[in-house]
Homo-oligomer: A and B are copies of this chain.
């Protein structure tokens, strides 16, 4: 199971919520296991998961009839479904359906609600939740659906709850950790594949093609592919171009796809032949900062303290003017989960948090240098997901 129910219920109790409604794709999948395709590839399609507080009723999914069948073919642990909208699927006469198709037939036989909010209202009513304080994740529901819900059940107090989900998601379950580890390691293999085609004259696009193809071959889907050469590496979000690799160029990867819906985000540098001395010095410094983060992170340590220590380390180890707004962030279904490793962060590390720690340095006219690892906070330290080191790789 993906969801950390105990943590979500704890937060709901603290916030006095009788129920929460997941609406953004990340929160719907997190709360139920249901990957409702249309909401992942577009903005606007509505899918919800209603999660009542313990003792207030069973959770349920609200799904469009056009994508409801995916529930039958996925590892979904929420049993009850409310479907909405008309969509035609026939059924073969005189044929025994297999297990999956039997489930689909049962889903399609459910009552048809007029629209997503009508289905959600029915689900709330069925649980006696027509009054009280309900948290609604405001990032996936459209404003018009929010208004429709408020108008349909004026006895409800609707409060924005995207932050409630974000907070719950910060401490990962074992299944999430396994997926994040696999996702990070697939990104490493994809960097290897890209570097395998890195030779003089190869373009950024050639490396990106090799990178993403390897991600796909490993069962992932491409998402983040910032791959640049030379001074272009100083562009934070450099998008691959026809720029050809030249001797002495730095190569920067800030990359990662999705694996079983979980994001990767790692960074490495390479160079075609020996880079200039300043690159080597600065790169050693940012690596030292990352090593310091690895050594410090454990439950109870403050994110802001890690930020301060990392900055001080990088400055001391060879990059005296190093300045940064953060040195990392959580990762999960979203590429930027809680916590944030910023100077003003109030976050304290807990066992099960999965973090991307990073010490990028961008200098226009020179280069962008960046190392970024992913790790999980363990009972007494941190366990890195990485199987490759952060050293500048000379190709």
Please list the residues of chain A having a beta carbon within 8 angstroms of any beta carbon in chain B.
24-26, 35, 37-38, 41-44, 66-67, 69-70, 72-74, 86-92, 95-98, 100-101, 104-105, 138-140, 142-144, 146, 160, 162, 205, 209, 212-213, 216-217, 219, 221-224, 231-232, 234-239, 241, 321, 323-325, 334-336, 361-366
Contacts and interface: CB of A to CB of B under 8 A. Distances in A.
A215 to B, nearest CB: 9
Contact of A67 (B73, B217, B236): B236
A364 to B, nearest CB: 5
A236 B36 CA distance: 12
6 closest A-B pairs by CB: A92-B365, A95-B365, A90-B363, A92-B366, A88-B323, A89-B362
Contacts of A222: 216, 221-222
A42 B91 contact: no
13 contacts: A41-B223, A69-B237, A70-B235, A72-B235, A86-B325, A88-B323, A89-B234, A89-B362, A89-B364, A90-B364, A91-B363, A100-B232, A209-B216
A297 to B, nearest CB: 23
Nearest to A363: B90
Copies in the complex: 2
A146 B365 CA distance: 38
A358 B35 CA distance: 24
Given A86-B325, A321-B90, A363-B90, A70 B239 contact: yes
A41, A90, A224, A361 — which one has the most chain B CB atoms within 10 A of its CB?
A: A90
A326 to B, nearest CB: 10
Contacts of A143: 138, 143, 146, 160
A24, A138, A234, A364 — which one has the most chain B CB atoms within 10 A of its CB?
A: A364
Nearest to A102: B364
B24 A43 contact: yes
Given A143-B138, A325-B88, A105 B73 contact: no
Contacts of A24: 43
A44 B234 CA distance: 25
Contacts of A96: 365
Contacts of A366: 90, 92, 95
